[in-house]
Amino acid sequence: MSSHDPDKVKDLYHTLHSHLPSEPALRVKTIENLLVEKGYLDQQTIDNWIEVYSEDIGPKRGAQVIARAWLDQEFKQRLLTDASEAIDDYGFLGKATAHLKALENTDSVHNLVVCTLCSCYPFSLLGMAPNWYKTAAYRSRAVREPRAVLKEFGVDLDDQVEVRVYDSTAELRYLVIPQRPLGTEDYSQQQLAGLVTRNSMIGTDRDLAKNMGG
């Protein structure tokens, strides 16, 4: 059983609260710096975790799932029926994806995901949530004026395209299956995964043909 020195804990508490600025991001960074300085955290460990979540865990994991769904109709149907069960093929099932629902974009439907109460997000598939996803502006406007929000992301939809907005919760999170770009019939699964963006799996990106290059 680990033991704690009450005086050290008390000293750390007062040190942290006497140095914290008002801006949340700065407060987090200040806490991190103080914990590293006092030996409670290792800076390299923090950097390694950030790199894993931003580069390895996501959004590359989600891109693998989408690419397979484009190539394998049976897998796509499983993904649409029970996304949590389907992604467990890769060992991606976790607390953030235990109740996951996949939403398929089509020529006539575009899906957009938001979390109006906080910032629930399938980070085990998509990595760390982007800052804009957590802002009050996105969380409120995505529901009230989704077309305007999408246009700001460069997604300008015809009136004939229905926009469906899905509100994530701690119990249910969503993954958008973007449309496969035309002209990718000969692409491998790895090449297809390279076209998939994090934003397309949230719904703030739609036309992935732009990632195909010349």
pLDDT tens column, 156-184:
999 999 999 999 998 899 999 999 999 99
Identify the top-confidence range among 90-104, 119-133, 198-212: 198-212
Active-site residue, from 84, 120, 124, 200: 120
Active-site residue, from 84, 115, 168, 200: 115
The full set of domain ranges for the chain reads 6-41, 59-212
Q: Please list the alpha-helical segments (H only) found in 20-119.
A: 24-37, 43-51, 60-71, 73-81, 83-87
Would you state the pLDDT for residue 58? 67
Active-site residue, from 54, 118, 140, 188: 118
Nearest to 163 by CA among 173, 181, 180, 176: 176
Can you give the pTM of this predicted structure?
0.76
**Surface-to-core class of residue 35, CB atoms within 10 Å of its CB (0-12 exposed, 13-18 middle, 19+ buried):** middle
Would you state the pLDDT for residue 70? 98
115 has catalytic annotation: yes
Identify the top-confidence range among 57-66, 95-104, 124-133, 135-144: 135-144
Spatial separation of the C-alpha atoms in residues 45 and 53, rounded to whole Å? 12
Active-site residue, from 3, 18, 22, 119: 119
Angle at 184 between CA 183 and CA 185, to 5 degrees: 95
Place of tokens 């008002």: 22
Residues 142 and 114 sit within 8 Å (Cβ to Cβ): yes
C-beta atoms surrounding 97 within 10 Å: 21
120 has catalytic annotation: yes
CATH of 59-212, one of 1.10.357.10, 3.90.330.10, 3.30.450.20, 3.50.50.60: 3.90.330.10
3 has catalytic annotation: no
118 has catalytic annotation: yes
